[in-house]
Amino acid sequence: MLYKDLVDFANKLKRSFFIDNEFKKYAELDRALPIGHGQTISQPSLVLKMTFLLDLVQDKSSKVLEIGTGSGYQTALLAEFSGPVFTVERVKELSEEAQARLKQLGYSNIFYKVGDGSEGWIENAPYDRIMVTAAASKVPVELIDQLGAGGKMVIPVGPKHIQELQLITKDQDGKVHVQSNDMVSFVELKGKYGWE
Ligand code: SAH
């Protein structure tokens, strides 16, 4: 994926479309905003950074797993530059709202699940890319297992409130490498391999 293509698309995609509350008027600010149920939509600069870090292949064929559908904003960026996107959200209402928005935008390569994404989505594994938009104290083992050879995963790892943005790569021999990037602050990944 070319950074310019990503930025051009993000500039066309209105973040306000993904926010249906009193914070809608702040959608153009580069700030994280509440989306209900105690969850937040990240600032656009970070969403772009994470998407670029994930390094989707140029021919838009990457098979992607996303954990934390939230508003669906990050999902739209992934779906625009990849093959199938399998997205998991634990809060049913958020998933349903995101589904309605993304259908309105016309995406047919997004598949939704309501459930615990810390366990991944085994039925469609392995994945070329995994994007986790909630913070785990350590990388869920299931997600590493479901990442294919040559795969990449972007995930915030660390305690509540402040985490390290990690790029995890699995080489052709199945060996896992970790590269640390910026410090970020995400809501918790809950569930079996997340926070209680
Ligand atoms: N990417 C989203 C932001 C998500 S905020 C966006 O662009 O709007 C993180 C989301 O992860 C929240 O919606 C939260 O409900 C969800 N989440 C937390 N733990 C989860 C889990 N174990 N499985 C699936 N979703 C989870």
**What is the 7 CA–ligand 1 centroid distance (Å)?**
23
The per-residue DSSP string of 54-90 comes to HT--TTS---EEEE--TTSHHHHHHHHTSS-EEEEES
**pLDDT score, position 24:** 97
**pLDDT score, position 1:** 84
**pLDDT score, position 171:** 97
Q: How far is CA 110 from CA 67, 102, 103, 152, 157, in A?
A: 13, 8, 9, 19, 26
Any catalytic annotation for residue 42? yes
Residue nearest to atom 11 of ligand 1 (CA): 68
Largest Cα–Cα distance of the chain, in whole Å? 49
Catalytic member of 16, 42, 82, 118: 42
**pLDDT score, position 27:** 97
DSSP secondary structure code for residue 50 in this structure: H
Distance from C-alpha of 6 to C-alpha of 4, rounded to nearest angstrom: 5
Q: Order of strands, edge to edge, in the sheet holding 163-170?
A: 110-114, 85-89, 64-67, 127-132, 147-157, 163-170, 176-184
Q: Across residues 49-60, what is the average pLDDT? A: 97
**pLDDT tens, position by position, 127-174:** 999 999 999 999 999 999 999 999 999 999 999 999 999 999 999 999
**What is the 71 CA–ligand 1 centroid distance (Å)?**
9
Asked if the model's pLDDT at residue 63 lies above 90, the reply is: yes
Angle between helix 44-54 and helix 3-12 axes, rounded to 10 deg: 140
